[in-house]
Amino acid sequence: MKIIKSVAEMKNLSSTIHRSGSSIGLVPTMGALHKGHLSLLERINNCCDYSVMSIFVNPAQFGPKEDFSKYPRPFDIDCEKAQAAGCDAVFAPSDDEMYPKNYSTYVNVENITERLCGASRPGHFRGVTTVVMKLFNIVNPQVAVFGQKDAQQVIVLKRMVHDLNMSINIDVAPIVREDDGLAMSSRNMYLTQEEHRDALMIYKGIKAAQDIYIAGERSSNVLNDAVRNEIMKSELIDIEYVEIFDTVQLQKMEYVLSPALIAAACRTKQSKTRLIDNCVIGGTL
């Protein structure tokens, strides 16, 4: 497996691969790899000739008070995991390589980035769309895969690709969970044992809503309450939001009559860890 640190080298590799007639798939990550990331790599290996995993903790998507500096960066272990999972190249540029002096260009998707996670994380999605645009231009993949766990990110990136007429296929991979049901996240390592146990309530709540939707319930309020009631059983977790939105424009819907996203974001009281989970009812992302 190649490990590439410079933009120029990654661009060269990409054009060499394309000239040989092979396709490239990209798995953008911030490292701290878990089974969720590795499932993305597996999907790319199943549809593309050459797999590139980017590992870059993107400063532009962290707020000034967020966990950028303490975000885990176990780079050597990540490379071992990527290699074992069949990754062909890891692209791991430095901050300066990605955002050199006088850097000034940003890509922004308006409106749909201002709700859900965007409401509590201003600028977050601008950082995501900007770095993903850069990675797309550097790696030039046919396919890029993102996990449904970050559902709003998927919706925003699909909108960017569509609006800017980019020729890249966005593949969405299902959420991978711990054995107990907690959605895999690099931030789960921040949780205390008690918080981890209570964090399961988020998935239980979402599953409860999904179950009553399948049984015929269509009222957003009722579905929303089903999620909240479960999470509120925990005294260790605060709800940041629980929302039911359509999957394209992220608009509230009184009744779920078209594909909808049930999304929850919570924060643990003790370790202040932010946890998100979601499911899509009546369709897919």
- Residues marked active site are found at 37
Cα(104)–Cα(123) distance, integer angstroms: 14
Stretch that binds its own copies, among 101-109, 115-123, 176-184, 211-219 (CB under 8 A): 101-109
Q: Shortest gap between Cβ of 187 and its own copies (angstroms)? A: 28
- The gap between the terminal CA atoms of the chain, to the nearest Å, is 32
Between 164 and 203, how does the x/- string for binding to its own copies read (CB under 8 A)?
A: xxxx------------------------------------
In sequence order, what are the residues at sequence separation of 6 or more whose Cβ sits closer than 8 angstroms to the Cβ of residue 87? 1, 27, 41, 51, 52, 53
DSSP state of 67: S
Q: How many residues bind its own copies (CB under 8 A)?
A: 29
Identity at 167, one-letter amino acid code: S
| Per-position DSSP letters for 210-264, written without gaps between them | HHHHHTT--BHHHHHHHHHHHHTT-SSEEEEEEEEEETTT--B-SB--S-EEEEE
Instruction: Rule CB under 8 A: say whether 140 interacts with its own copies.
Output: yes
Identity at 48, one-letter amino acid code: C
Q: Shortest gap between Cβ of 248 and its own copies (angstroms)? A: 8
Instruction: Rule CB under 8 A: say whether 111 interacts with its own copies.
Output: yes
Do 82 and 90 touch, CB atoms closer than 8 A?
yes
Q: Which residue, 109 or 276, has its beta carbon nearer to its own copies?
A: 109
Q: Which residue, 112 or 237, has its beta carbon nearer to its own copies?
A: 112
Q: Which residue, 5 or 233, has its beta carbon nearer to its own copies?
A: 5
Q: Which residue, 77 or 164, has its beta carbon nearer to its own copies?
A: 164
Near its own copies by CB under 8 A: residue from 4, 44, 133, 209:
133
Q: Which residue, 22 or 137, has its beta carbon nearer to its own copies?
A: 137
Q: Shortest gap between Cβ of 164 and its own copies (angstroms)? A: 6
Instruction: Rule CB under 8 A: say whether 284 interacts with its own copies.
Output: no
Instruction: Rule CB under 8 A: say whether 107 interacts with its own copies.
Output: yes
Q: Which residue, 170 or 208, has its beta carbon nearer to its own copies?
A: 170
Site for its own copies in 37-66 (CB under 8 A): none
Near its own copies by CB under 8 A: residue from 92, 112, 144, 202:
112
Neighbours of 204 (CB within 10 A): 18
Q: In terms of Cα–Cα distance, which of 101, 99, 92, 88 is closest to 41?
A: 88
Instruction: Rule CB under 8 A: say whether 258 interacts with its own copies.
Output: no
Q: Shortest gap between Cβ of 107 and its own copies (angstroms)? A: 5
H helix intervals, 20-94: 35-47, 75-84
Instruction: Rule CB under 8 A: say whether 11 interacts with its own copies.
Output: yes
Do 163 and 76 touch, CB atoms closer than 8 A?
no
Report residue 247 as tokens.
Answer: 């999957």
CA distances from 172 to 36, 76, 86, 265 (A): 12, 27, 19, 20
> Which residues contact its own copies by CB under 8 A?
7, 11, 102-112, 129-130, 133-134, 137-138, 140, 159-160, 163-167, 248-249
